[in-house]
Chain A
Amino acid sequence: MTRTRLPTGAVVLLGVAALAVAACLSLAIGSRSLSPGAVLDGLTALVTGEASGSSADGILSARLDRTLIGLVVGLAVALSGAAMQGLTRNPLADPGILGVNSGAALAVVLGLQFAGISTVGGYLWLALLGGLVTAVLVYAVASVSQGDQSLTMVLTGAAVTAGVTSVIAGVLVSNQGALQSFRFWQVGSVAGRDAVIIADVLPLLVVSLLIVGLSGPVLNAAALGEDLERALGQRVHLARFVVAVGAVGLAASAVALAGPIAFVGLVVPHVVRLVTGPDYRRILPGSALVGPVLILLTDTLGRVVTPPSEIQVGIMTAVLGAPVLILLIRRAVLR
């Protein structure tokens, strides 16, 4: 039985088309839905700077912020997940499951509470620091323990997440004022933020994006096991360290923008792999396109399932992602 694969061009085209559809839905649908015509009019008005003054403009502008943030967050989280799965050769790796997201969130919340840091630019470095510390911790525990490393890593990540989440809850509860505005550090959300904050994370985002985006060949060699990786001329520790920093950088950028968002980094690379096969030079761009699609669609769905209130995107992705995680664990354990 021969296997043929979709050409890379077709994969990218499909991804871009899906992304365009998801972005349009995210702009049009909500507590007050806009017709495609109204969305188009509003967008042209925003571009030309001639606001018509209608209420649709305000709605659209808020949704545009939300869509842009969702796009960046989806891209960062999915790429980060793909890189972590490649680096650890663990199909269950993802910034949420390995505890990197919650570690980053904890650092931000602590900075908020005790150092009074309240700008996204400030969050970012805290998130990066918290994410890196957690990543090193989880990786170290998994490396020194006996038995199945994949599972140890996931269990350590889960333990870290549980502990860290309760600390975050404790800090936020003791600070009632902060609780309302910073609830999203417990469960991620892309709503109610100005897209301008993207500018604050842009330097770290771009550098991490470059590192991870170019890491396809490194991850391809790593997939063959450490011996072959070295035999193929890769400087194993250096290459892995650089890519890991990129992956944590992406996760930290996403956390700084939207709080921890679960499962997207886990699920997206697996979906992409079904189409692209195991070549990371294709998995990475595929994930970069499908991640935002998943975030935008789940966020849009979260706006309409329980009117008039909304469900945060972090909860939506967890609800949808949990069954997929169970499926993957069953496959990993049964194999």
Chain B
Amino acid sequence: MTLQSRNLSLAYGKRVVVEGLDLDVPEGRVTAIVGPNGCGKSTALRGLARLLRPTAGQVLLDGTDIHSLPTRTVARRVGLLPQSPIVPEGITVAELVARGRHPHHGLLRQWTRDDDRIVAESLERTHTTDLAGRPVDQLSGGQRQRVWIAMALAQRTGLLLLDEPTSFLDIAHQVEVLDLVRDLSVEDGTTVVMVLHDLPLAARYADHLIAMRDGAIVAEGRPRDVVTADTVCDVFGITCRVRWEHAGDVSVIPLGRHLPTHGQESPEEPPHARVRVAGRP
């Protein structure tokens, strides 16, 4: 399954947010879109999920314009986890995950044993089987995100679009969610596109990075090629020090006004300025 955009422009009213975006999502890989607030990364994802109608250009799903396909057909191929989905009051984990089967049902096609099996598998895949009977509003942030991903999995699409799946989560829960995303890609061959805030985390968990600024792609490619001091400066407008280590870990150390500048290595680096992530890649 391929997802591409060609010369895609997206706007809210008259405010153009994304302009002339050409993008090819690598199949079976994890792609992360990064960039500063308001750079259009979430808007681009919403465009790919056909939540927004382009003002120009196209989104192509398997070569066909996504807006010319029946919405149900798209829903069977592309799953989405929006930034702030609504949890119906009192709903349990199993009930929420079951709603992912919606695109596979119709007036005549009702719930079957197959649906039960797929819901059970989705719970298992996201390690939420034990939570099945619990009300979603009582779960931790990390558990809740895994449950939403389980719902998207129950939709049985080969492609998942995740809009900031780790925002509002502490670092342990972020790693919990991203480990799961990585599992889905490596073990099941699921294609994942996610918008992430955290650059080192994105570099660690994605196969393919897309850096955006002002509604356009500034750099894309392997994380090692994209995350450089020059690109970070270009994209976020900050000076920073980038260190790649042998295992593929990256440290991005922002150098603000109160930190030593390039070439003037201070004897002690302030501990809070050092961002490192050690998770299971």
Contacts and interface: CB of A to CB of B under 8 A. Distances in A.
A277 B90 contact: yes
A220 B99 contact: yes
Contact of A279 (B95, B100, B107): B95
Contacts of A277: 90-92, 95
B138 interface: yes
Given A2-B133, A3-B135, A234 B102 contact: yes
Contacts of B127: none
A228 interface: yes
Nearest to A229: B102
A235 B135 CA distance: 28
A3 B103 CA distance: 26
A221 B102 contact: yes
Interface in B80-94: 80, 82, 84-86, 88-92
Interface residues of A, number: 25
B105 interface: yes
Contact of A223 (B79, B88, B155): B88
A233 interface: yes
Interface in B207-229: none
B51 A278 contact: no
Interface residues of B, number: 35
A214 interface: yes
A232 B155 contact: yes
Interface in A236-278: 273, 277-278
Contacts of A217: 102, 105
B95 A225 contact: no
A44 B88 CA distance: 47
Contacts of A1: 134-135, 138
Given A220-B102, A227-B82, A278 B134 contact: no
B71 interface: yes
Contact of B88 (A230, A233, A235, A278): A278
Interface in A177-211: none
Interface of B: 46, 49-51, 71-76, 78-80, 82, 84-86, 88-92, 95, 99-100, 102-103, 105, 107, 132-135, 138, 155
Q: Give 7 nearest A-B pairs by CB, closest first.
A: A233-B75, A2-B133, A233-B103, A231-B80, A227-B82, A233-B72, A225-B86
